[in-house]
Amino acid sequence: MQKEKGLIWFTNNLRAIDNKVLYEASKRSDSLIGYYNFDPLLFKRNIWGFKKTEKYRTKFLIESIDNLKKNLSQLNITLVIDFSEGFNKLFEVIGREKISSIYFQKEWTSEEKKTQDKIFNKISKKIKKLSFYDQFLFQPSDINIEIADFPEIFSIFRKKVEKKIEINNCFPVPKKYPKSNLLNIENETPNLEKLGFKSFKIDANSAFPFIGGTDNCLERINSYFWKSKKIDYYKQTRNGMIKTDYSSKLSSWLSNGSISARYIYWQIKDYEKKETKNQSTYWLFFELMWRDFFKYISIKHGNKIFNKNGLSKTQVNWINDQKELKNWINGTTDEPFINANMIELKKTGWMSNRGRQNVASFFSKNLKLDWRIGASYFESILIDYDVHSNYGNWLYNSGIGNDPMPFRKLNVKFQSEKYDPKKKFENLWLNSQYELEL
């Protein structure tokens, strides 16, 4: 009987625990190889002049891949690491190892689909391609909502799923292969310099000084949940802006799939069972539902989430003013609260949820700048960039998405007085400005 040789193509699912794709691949494969490509296109400049992936997320990604490589090696699975626009090593491995099946995470946004189609058009149809949704808390097969009928308002979605749909259990860690499954190849992860960046130190004031990879995420969950029990106060502190513990900070690991939403959910449930169940523990679950909501919105609307007018039927005359854009990026607008948030982002690759809402609303509704430019800048520089949440939130804050009151505009001065009354946050960042070259 011919042996089944599998290859798992990792994208934004960089974990060995609770990974449906890895579990299915290992269950069906006599031998298994992992593959990841640092696609050079991800580090080039886009139409707005920003690198698609800047240094902060790149550093976090490198750390995540190193950790994935280590965790897979403990299962005697080699992670083949590539750095080529042509995905050269992928084709080499498929041919040399006589791969019979390729397993990958199902994607639906245009760039990811384009990459997958480009690759699979060059691979023999005899090789099986098996894809699985694994980015959700509530799986598409479970929600019982036709995509065409998916609600446009979050609260309607939440009421349809939160008490009616059971969350799936986590997938077990796959079987350990014999050592003969390992490949004898040179397999270095590229460093920052190879990807076009200078090495740098994390800013001492960063609210996100954490390292990429599943192991470091598990440490963070252990610290935030079980050691400090800061999760008990999440609802009260989530609008904070200084230091690490005003929020869970799990979004960066979620964004590249170093952890799953499902795993976090079951950690919340375990904590509620053993420690405390309150509004704060519920609110972390609530935020995971928001994440799902934007993923389903992007499935429903496709490329409309990237269009100039978003989901709105109204034509908006956005402005492309380079001077105003540079002032916003460099934190030199007339609003100190906006400036402090933008400087924090520029120096650390991180910004609080409260800050993101304010700077996006100010960008689109005060400055009237083309929201796509702001969303693209966030895509470039945020460590926790997630295509669905990023563009969904920008549409929402720009009044052309899923806000049931699209006309609302945040009052920046009021927001500053409410969330930074003693100006600690503003003083922290406004004393260390520097220019970003565009």
**376-391 residue pLDDT tens:** 999 999 999 999 999 9
136, pLDDT greater than 70: yes
In order of start, what are the domains of the chain with their CATH numbers?
A: 5-134 (3.40.50.620), 217-300 (1.25.40.80), 322-430 (1.10.579.10)
If you average pLDDT over residues 12-41, what whole number do you get?
A: 97
435, pLDDT greater than 80: no
Quick one: pLDDT band at residue 434, thresholds 50, 70, 90?
very low
Evaluate whether 138 touches 161 at the Cβ level (below 8 Å).
yes
If you average pLDDT over residues 127-138, what whole number do you get?
A: 97
Q: What is the pLDDT of residues 348-378, one digit of tens each?
A: 999 999 999 999 999 999 999 999 999 999 9
Quote the pTM value.
0.96
If you average pLDDT over residues 191-208, what whole number do you get?
A: 97
What is the distance in angstroms between the CA of the first residue and the CA of the last residue of the chain?
59
437, pLDDT greater than 90: no
The pLDDT score that the predictor gives to residue 2 is 62
How far apart are alpha carbons 326 and 339 in whole angstroms?
Answer: 11
Percent of the chain past pLDDT 70, that is, above it, reads 98
Paired sense of beta strands 79-82 and 31-37, if any = parallel
If you average pLDDT over residues 24-53, what whole number do you get?
A: 96
The pLDDT score that the predictor gives to residue 432 is 60
If you average pLDDT over residues 307-326, what whole number do you get?
A: 94
How far apart are alpha carbons 388 and 406 in whole angstroms?
Answer: 19
277, pLDDT greater than 80: yes
The pLDDT score that the predictor gives to residue 407 is 85
436, pLDDT greater than 70: no
Quick one: pLDDT band at residue 187, thresholds 50, 70, 90?
confident
Q: If you search the block for the tokens 């760039």, which residue do you land on?
A: 111
